[in-house]
């Protein structure tokens, strides 16, 4: 392993050991670390403070022209798990063989480190790309996407022609990601004694009737063949008990993931139609918690072909794929119509658990791929 590759792996490990679990102040330490790294390579950067003590960071590498830009993006927070701490309340992380273990290795501190070292290579070469390259390290991706939503207010995205997100794809080229709708329904029945359920109306049974209707196989339109099928998950049902009472209220939460040509607006309409066909208006309350449309870059587009070519110069056997999860890119695609490509060294199947890991070779390859994308930005955007 070359000296610079060893430094990249060490930086990745240091990032993983920083506790940036989602919550107030989660990005404090990691944003300072990244800012310090950028200052050492003489890249101007700014830490942005959001509400609820969250922090993002933006940086800029100037090109010859500023009428277009490439936006490289990665989130700094991880999910919040207590089981990832050692007896000293430090994040458990380490290297075994050719893998690095620890919360955030794949999602997505391996991607962050690879982006940073690709930028370092750009600085070292003193190369002047044709177009500006911006870097956004965001807050709160794992929950409310505060950092990505703040980007919508930033003037830099007015000239962004492509956003590359370093989320885990195992270096496959992610050209699409599902949209999502998170929603909650409060069902309102009629209380009665548990021994005479016919005297009341169970809000739990109302929820079950709705779940049965929305689970119909014909609920979603047939998906684009490039994407996995649209799905619905019942996240929770809560009536509170006790055993011997017919519950008069029940709250259920749902997570729908959408594949094109299905849209958020079309699915919202179908949800409302099902509710109104089964229940009276006074018997339910619908709350849409979050919604994002699917993003899709055509596989035969120039940007997809050029980036796939670059990937092939460093790793073999990688495919063009669509992903089941939403990213920060989904926010910019939905609200600013910015094309999004997801490409990262992490392993999607192992994220969000204490046994998360990443291949060291992937981190190194990703850094080289990102660097080549930056060197060839004029061909891509």
SS3 191: coil
How many angstroms separate the CA atoms of 165 and 373, rounded?
Answer: 13
Reported as a single tens digit per residue, the pLDDT across 216-228 is 989 999 999 999 9
Q: Output the pLDDT for position 346.
A: 98
Select from 146, 126, 144 the least CA-distant residue to 136. Answer: 146
Rounded Cα distance, 130 and 273, in Å = 51
Domain with CATH 3.40.630.10 in the chain: 3-177+294-380
- For 158, the 3-state DSSP assignment is helix
Q: In this predicted model, what pLDDT tens digit does every residue of 241-277 receive, in sequence order?
A: 899 999 999 999 999 999 999 999 999 999 999 999 9
Cβ(92)–Cβ(82) below 8 Å:
no
For the cut 90, the answer to whether the pLDDT of residue 1 exceeds it is no
- At residue 228, φ and ψ (nearest 5 deg) are -70, 165
CA distance 148 to 5: 30
- Which stretches within the chain are classed as H helix? 3-17, 28-40, 110-125, 146-151, 203-214, 264-278, 302-312, 328-336, 360-375, 377-380
What pLDDT is recorded for position 217?
A: 86
pLDDT(5) > 90: yes
Contact between 151 and 90 under an 8 Å Cβ cutoff? The reply is no
pLDDT beyond 90 at 22: yes
pLDDT for res 182: 96
pLDDT digits (tens, 9 = 90+) for 312-346: 999 999 999 999 999 999 999 999 999 999 999 99
CATH 3.30.70.360 positions along the chain are 180-292
User: What's the pLDDT score for residue 82?
Assistant: 87
pLDDT digits (tens, 9 = 90+) for 78-125: 999 988 999 888 999 999 999 999 999 999 999 999 999 999 999 999
Closest listed residue to residue 206, CA positions, set 286, 279, 288: 279
Report how far residue 169's alpha carbon sits from residue 142's, in angstroms, rounded to the nearest whole number. Answer: 17
**How many angstroms separate the CA atoms of 291 and 42, rounded?**
39
Residue pair 372/123 in contact by the 8 Å Cβ criterion:
no
Average pLDDT over residues 360-367: 98
CB of 179 within 8 A of CB of 258?
Answer: yes
Helix segments in 216-284, DSSP class H: 264-278
Instruction: Return the axis-axis angle of helices 360-375 and 110-125, rounded to nearest 10°.
Output: 40
The SS3 assignment for 273 reads helix
Pairing, β 173-177 against β 320-323? parallel
Token reading at 330? 């989904």
Burial of 150 (0-12, 13-18, 19+ CB in 10 A): buried
> For residue 121, which of 72, 162, 163 has the smallest C-alpha distance?
72
Q: What is the chain's Cα-based Rg?
A: 23
pLDDT reported for residue 255: 97
Q: Which of 168-172, 193-197, 239-243, 286-290 has the lowest mean pLDDT?
A: 239-243
| Backbone dihedral angles phi then psi of residue 39, each to the nearest 5 degrees | -65, -35
Task: For the chain, give the mean pLDDT.
Answer: 96
**Percent of the chain residues past pLDDT 90, beyond the cut:** 96
Q: Please measure the distance between the N-terminal and C-terminal CA atoms of the chain and give it in whole angstroms.
A: 33
- Calpha distance 71→163 (Å, rounded): 5
Query: What pLDDT is attached to residue 84?
Result: 92
pLDDT greater than 90 at residue 354: no
Instruction: Report d(CA 154, CA 133) in Å as an integer.
Output: 15
Distance CA 47, CA 58 (A): 7
- Average pLDDT value for residue range 122-130: 96
- The separation between CA 214 and the C-alpha centre of its own chain, rounded to angstroms, equals 26
Fold (CATH) for 180-292: Alpha-Beta Plaits (3.30.70)
Is the sign of the CA dihedral 172, 375, 141, 154 positive or negative? negative
What's the rounded Cα separation, in Å, for the pair 54 and 117? 25
Q: Rounded to whole angstroms, how far apart are CA atoms 132 and 159?
A: 9
Whose CA is closest to 168, among 96, 226, 227, 111?
A: 111
Fold classification of 3-177+294-380 (topology level)? Aminopeptidase (3.40.630)
**Can you give the pTM of this predicted structure?**
0.92
């Amino acid at each position: 392993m070359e000296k610079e590759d060893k430094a990249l792996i060490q930086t990745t490990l240091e990032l993983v050991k920083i506790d940036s679990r989602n919550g107030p102040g989660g990005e404090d330490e990691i944003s300072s670390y990244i800012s310090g790294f950028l200052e050492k390579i003489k890249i101007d950067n700014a830490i942005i403070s959001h509400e609820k003590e969250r922090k993002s960071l933006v940086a800029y590498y100037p090109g010859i022209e500023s009428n277009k830009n490439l936006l490289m993006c990665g989130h700094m927070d991880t999910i919040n798990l207590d089981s990832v701490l050692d007896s000293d309340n430090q994040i458990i992380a380490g290297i075994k063989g050719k893998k690095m273990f620890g919360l955030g290795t794949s999602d997505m501190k391996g991607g962050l480190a690879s982006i940073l070292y690709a930028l370092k290579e750009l600085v070292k070469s003193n190369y002047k790309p044709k177009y500006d390259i911006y870097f956004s390290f965001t807050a709160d991706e794992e929950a409310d996407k505060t950092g990505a939503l703040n980007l919508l207010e930033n003037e830099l995205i007015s000239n962004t022609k492509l956003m590359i997100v370093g989320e885990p794809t195992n270096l496959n080229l992610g050209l699409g990601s599902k949209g999502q709708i998170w929603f909650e329904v409060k069902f309102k029945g009629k209380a009665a004694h548990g021994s005479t359920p016919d005297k009341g109306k169970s809000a739990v049974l109302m929820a079950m009737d709705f779940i049965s209707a929305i689970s119909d196989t014909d609920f979603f339109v047939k998906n684009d063949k490039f994407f996995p099928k649209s799905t619905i998950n019942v996240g929770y049902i809560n009536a509170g008990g006790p055993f011997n009472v017919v519950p008069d209220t029940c709250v259920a939460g749902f997570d729908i993931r959408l594949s094109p040509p299905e849209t958020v607006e079309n699915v919202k309409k179908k949800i409302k139609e099902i509710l109104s066909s089964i229940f009276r208006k006074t018997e339910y309350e619908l709350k849409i918690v979050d919604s994002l449309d699917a993003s899709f870059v055509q596989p035969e587009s120039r940007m997809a072909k050029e980036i796939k070519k670059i990937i092939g110069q460093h790793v073999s056997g990688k495919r063009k794929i669509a992903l089941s999860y939403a990213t920060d890119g989904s926010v910019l695609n939905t609200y600013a119509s910015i094309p999004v490509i997801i490409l990262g060294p992490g392993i999607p199947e192992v994220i969000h658990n204490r046994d998360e890991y990443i291949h060291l070779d992937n981190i190194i390859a990703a850094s080289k791929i990102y660097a080549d994308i930056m060197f060839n930005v004029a061909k891509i955007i």
